[in-house]
A and B are shown apart, each in its own frame.
Chain A
Amino acid sequence: MWRNRSLGAIFVLIITVALAQAQQPNSCVDCHSALEGELHVTQEQFAQDIHAQKGLTCASCHGGDPSKTDDSAMSKAAGFKGKIERAGVPKLCGSCHSDPAFMRQYNPSLRTDQFSQYQTSIHGKRQAAGDTKVAVCTDCHGVHDLRPASDTRSKVHPLNIATTCSRCHADAEYMATYKIPTNQFADYKTSVHHEALVERGDLSAPTCTTCHGNHGATPPGVGSVANVCSTCHVFQAQLFEASPHKAAFASAGLPGCVTCHSNHGISKPSDAMLGTSAHSVCTNCHTQGDAGYKAAGDMQQQISGLETSIVRSDRILSQAESSGMEVSQPRLELDQARDALTKARVTVHTFAAHPVRADVDSGLKITTKTYGEGEGALRERDYRRTGLGMSLVAIVFVVVALRLYIKEIEKNQ
């Protein structure tokens, strides 16, 4: 009985506290929910904000006292700040987000160098110089309904970052004073990176901030492009570093990877980029007779040779498979030839024919074997069918003989 009464009392207490919390007055939202335009903020909207969820209130940024319902709620003497000027936004956000001790209470894993990074960024530098058009924290992260970057509805979720950046960087009129191109977003949407991120949902695929940085956003210089790409394309970058192109590009003032692959509109590399045809990027610099021209032709020929050989093996194995032959083992081996082809395509970044040949040869060895196995499977199929034909002849012979024998014995009965 006593236990039941105690449980009842605890339940009533919880309900009372919850109701008291729910009914706590917030004069900011009471008024702002009735206002229009950028001053419009509702309780529902703010409830979605990560700050509200962590227990912060309007007063945490804007000062004042939401519990008061008269003018004293916005008393400047009591610390009311009102609207935060754009110029003051980074510093205000940084007052908490740059304080490791403070942030540890909410999210110990969150970095606290955003403000210092921002100050080194092109946005931060221009903002410090008095440019009010450049991006501040709220332009990218939003305000009053700010969500963590892991939330797909967040403006800084990987799937949304490019759109967020494009709000300024694709606006030719807005960007006119900076004299920089505004086609980056349009180009990016045609790129293999965009396809991987948006169409295939691969959140590890690069978006604007992957290459340019986020809080410290700045365009990578000519010398550092290869470093940026190498964060993902490690092997290609290592081979490029050791290749003759490294020094040649540096002396010509050409950015590493971008020279052949472009930047924002980077398309899926194809073997046509290699070699000496009109579509090749090698012929942009190399001309007939030079060593690079010859190496480009050799590499292209070897790679296309391996590809043709893989297709040939695949075709014969498919033919055997469609005849019902078990060829899963050669199929598995053929995957290794495909791996060798991929490796050869990476080795192209040595810009020398010899290392590419080594990879291609290992692939060709496998395709020769798998093609032979395909041929063997087809021979076995024909052998089976011949065997069947002979068996059927024997069966027909026995059936006819039986029929004749039955006729014979029934004639005598």
Chain B
Amino acid sequence: MAPLARVRNWLDERFGWDELLAPLRHKTVPIHRYSYWYFLGGITLFLFGVQVCTGILLLLYYRPSANEAFESVQYLMTQVKFGWLVRSVHSWAANLMILTAFLHMFSVVFLRAYRKPRELTWVSGMLLLFLAMGFGFSGYLLPWNTLAFFATKVGTDIAGQVPFVGHRTMIFLRGGEEVTGATLSRFFGFHVAVLPGLTTLLVGVHLLLIQRFGISVPARIEPEWRELPQEKREMRFFPSFLLRELMAWYIALGVLGALAAFSPWGLGTKADPFAPAPAGIKPEWYFLFMFQTLKLIPAKLGLLDGEVVGILTFSLAGLIWLLVPFLDGTKRTQRLVTGAAMFVVAYMGMMTAYGYVAK
């Protein structure tokens, strides 16, 4: 008997391995003209795995204090063998992960994959997207460079504007009134302990729900298949879809490598809390549409503070977005959700572009 088969037998005797893998063998993936959107969730998961691996490697050298953080990253990038690669891949993968998470989210909206019984799959996915943005916000500060320092200052200032709980939230995030070494320690804690813990838990829930309810057939395809059952096609998840997903992961790995080699992630200059803020401070691209909107809102809207109105509007919009599956009942609301999603995509795209060109 081949060694691999012997190991398999050994596991099967003790854990019922074949029984455990049975659901995977029976799992199928619908084949239709929108099938390629199914890969986005897997690519996001792959990039999360890259983040975990490179993050652990970064931890071997990173020192989370205001005096040492910048120097430790600089040392890692210049002195440690392949340190530049690990850091660049970590930074690029973080951005690509948020990009693919957004694309995955919009694909789910446009294909209406959130509909019954997958409401909680959507909610867990949205919470994962929020966590990914939290990863981005907390990780951005860790190299303790000028841009990150002032962007965090601006970001936490915005959080401080929320009525009633804003100031307390800001103090909680900063560990004091100002962005200091205490903020760095907190952000490090969130980035390497709190957020990964929550994310792992939610990823587990998300995957479990996908496994439980299977992969959704798009709302447009479903009636076509009902009408012409002979048109219905499926592939086995294991190994056909998983091998295709593996191809996508390899391609993503190639893109990551190319980005790291041709455009290594910069380090900038060490943050100086006493220096004036450089002109044109901007947050990471995935916060830019919100930042630019807040900049455009007048200081006063009647009796209300413009920024507070903006923050509350975004919070409300986020909450409504989270509850989309529960609102999508009638044909009219379905059209409304699709229209709103198109508007959101256009708005985010335009505001992000405007944020980049605006001074």
Cβ-defined contact, A410 with B262, below 8 A: no
Interface positions of B from 78 to 122, Cβ below 8 Å from A = 78, 84-85
Stretch of B21-29, B246-254, B274-282, B341-349 that contacts chain A: B246-254
Chain B hits for A326, CB < 8 A: 74, 77-78, 84, 264, 266-267
Establish whether residues B240 and A392, one from each chain, have CB atoms under 8 Å apart when the complex forms: no
Minimal Cβ-Cβ distance residue in B for A405: B243
Kindly report which residue of chain A lies nearest to residue B251, judged by CB atoms.
A399
In A298-346, the 8 Å CB interface with B consists of 324-326, 328-329
Q: B208 at interface (Cβ–Cβ under 8 A)?
A: no
CB of B75, distance to nearest CB on chain A (Å): 10
For B258, the closest partner residue in chain A by CB is A388
In this complex, how many residues of chain B approach chain A with their Cβ under 8 Å: the count is: 28
Residue on A nearest B73 in the bound complex, by CB:
A326
In the complex, what residue of chain A is closest to B263 when comparing beta carbons?
A: A324
Partner of B261, one of A387, A402, A403: A387
Q: What interface size band does chain A fall in?
A: 20 to 34
Chain B CB count within 10 A is highest, among A326, A391, A395, A402, for A326
**B77 and A384 contact, CB distance less than 8 A:** no
Output the least CB separation between B1 and chain A (Å): 22
Report how far A328 CA is from B254 CA in the complex, Å: 28
B306: CB under 8 A from chain A? no
Query: Nearest Cβ distance between residue B90 and chain A, in whole angstroms?
Result: 15
CB <8 Å contact, A392 and B258: yes
Asked if A19 is at the interface (CB within 8 A of a chain B CB), the reply is: no
Q: B285 → chain A, closest Cβ, in Å?
A: 18
Q: How far is the CB of B64 from chain A (nearest CB, A)?
A: 20
**In this complex, which of B84, B254, B258 has the most chain A Cβ atoms within 10 angstroms of its Cβ?**
B254
Enumerate A74-101 residues with CB–CB distance to B below 8 Å: none
Q: Are B77 and A399 in contact (CB under 8 A)?
A: no
Q: Assess the A409–B262 pair: CB atoms within 8 A.
A: no
Cα A413 to Cα B251 with chains together (Å) = 26
B247 touches A409 (CB 8 A): no
Grouping DSSP codes into helix (H, G, I), strand (E, B) and loop, the B interface class, with mixed when no group exceeds half, is helix
Docked-complex contact A402 and B247, CB < 8 angstroms: yes
- Supposing A324-B263, A324-B264, A326-B267 touch, asked if A406 and B251 sit within 8 A by C-beta, the answer is no
Q: Across the interface, do A406 and B262 meet the contact criterion of CB distance under 8 Å?
A: no
Convert B224-247 into 0s and 1s, putting 1 for each residue whose CB lies closer than 8 angstroms to a CB of A: 000000000001100110011011
**How far does the alpha carbon of A96 sit from the alpha carbon of B264 in the complex, in Å?**
71
Q: Mark A381-394, 1 if CB is under 8 A from B, else 0.
A: 00011011001100
Q: List 26 A-B contacts (CB under 8 A).
A: A324-B265, A326-B74, A326-B77, A326-B84, A326-B264, A326-B266, A326-B267, A328-B74, A328-B267, A328-B269, A329-B78, A384-B85, A385-B261, A388-B260, A391-B257, A392-B257, A392-B258, A395-B257, A399-B247, A399-B250, A402-B243, A403-B247, A409-B239, A409-B240, A410-B240, A413-B236
The 8 A-B residue pairs with the shortest CB-CB distance in the complex, in nearest-first order: A324-B264, A388-B261, A395-B254, A384-B261, A326-B77, A402-B247, A406-B243, A399-B247
Additional A-B contacts beyond A326-B267, A329-B78 (18; CB < 8 A): A324-B265, A325-B264, A326-B264, A326-B266, A328-B267, A384-B261, A387-B261, A388-B257, A391-B254, A391-B257, A392-B257, A392-B258, A395-B254, A402-B243, A402-B246, A402-B247, A406-B239, A413-B236
